[in-house]
Amino acid sequence: MELKNPFLMLTVPERLRANKELIENLKVNAQHLITHFDLHATLLHILEDPENFVAKPVVDPNNATSILRPLGPAENRSCRDIPVPASYCLCEFDKEPLSPDNYREMADYAVREINRKLADERLAGVCANLTLGSVISVEAYTPEMVTKLYEITFDVHQNRARFRATIRGDVMVPSTFELTGGVDRINEYGKTADCIADQKPQMSPYCYCTGAKL
């Protein structure tokens, strides 16, 4: 939950706490779907027109609007209306469990993507080349034939690191596989990535140090 949908808390400056429109907007908007695109729109609002809390929003291509104003058309949006990976919408999609035995190629694809990311960061050799261990679980976003979207959990041989990824594609055609969002590390990695912790901390979840120096 915290990884995909972190808690958001706002503190309203004292001089604005008597503004009924602003406070009402925040109360109402707190009950609706909010994205990081909205936070960007909110920061722009503060920079460009900080005293206006009643103007109807102009919805941009990302379906974003300032949360300090009425959401307008965005009030009734769903995860299907915003350019955010389905894995970030925790409650809106139904998923059906599938047998992991048929999805090793999909998990292999995710492992290759992790290794490619390590190589792009020039960490090949410093971090071990990961190899697939087992596929732990697979769930299809329903209806499977329409979405072709799967959440797959797997581990690798190196330190039994466990990951979860959301992948779109035809199971029978590996060339169609595509990550939607990143690959998340979902178990503890402790000190196994200490060799890059200072220089490239964002890669620590994927790195199993080989002993070579960065």
How many beta carbons lie within 10 A of that of residue 68, not counting itself?
24
Residue-wise pLDDT tens digits, 134-176: 999 999 988 877 788 999 999 999 999 999 999 999 988 889 9
Q: What per-residue confidence (pLDDT) applies to 131? A: 98
Q: What per-residue confidence (pLDDT) applies to 2? A: 62
Angle at 115 between CA 212 and CA 122, to 5 degrees: 50
For residue 134, give every residue at least 6 positions away whose Cβ sits within 8 Å of its Cβ, in sequence order, or none.
100, 154, 155
Domain count, the chain: 2
118, 50: one domain: no
196, 177: one domain: yes
How many beta carbons lie within 10 A of that of residue 100, not counting itself?
17
Q: What per-residue confidence (pLDDT) applies to 189? A: 92
- List, as own/partner pairs, every contact residues 16-23 make where C-beta atoms lie below 8 angstroms and the sequence separation is at least 24, other chains included: 19/53, 21/53, 21/54, 22/53, 22/68
Tell me the β-bridge partners of 151. 139, 166
* Residue after which a domain boundary falls, among 38, 59, 84: 84
Q: What per-residue confidence (pLDDT) applies to 159? A: 94
Q: What per-residue confidence (pLDDT) applies to 153? A: 98
Q: What per-residue confidence (pLDDT) applies to 58? A: 61
Q: What per-residue confidence (pLDDT) applies to 168? A: 92
Q: What per-residue confidence (pLDDT) applies to 138? A: 97
Q: What per-residue confidence (pLDDT) applies to 10? A: 82
Tell me the β-bridge partners of 164. 153, 184
132, 197: one domain: yes
133, 39: one domain: no
* Residue after which a domain boundary falls, among 39, 62, 84: 84
Q: Which helix (H) or strand (E) holds 21?
A: helix 20-29
Q: Is residue 3 part of a domain?
A: no
Positions of the chain with pLDDT lower than 50, given as ranges: none
Q: Is 33 exposed, middle or buried (0-12, 13-18, 19+ CB in 10 A)?
A: buried
The CATH code of the domain that includes 104 is: 3.10.450.10
Q: Is residue 48 part of a domain?
A: yes
Domain around 45: 14-84
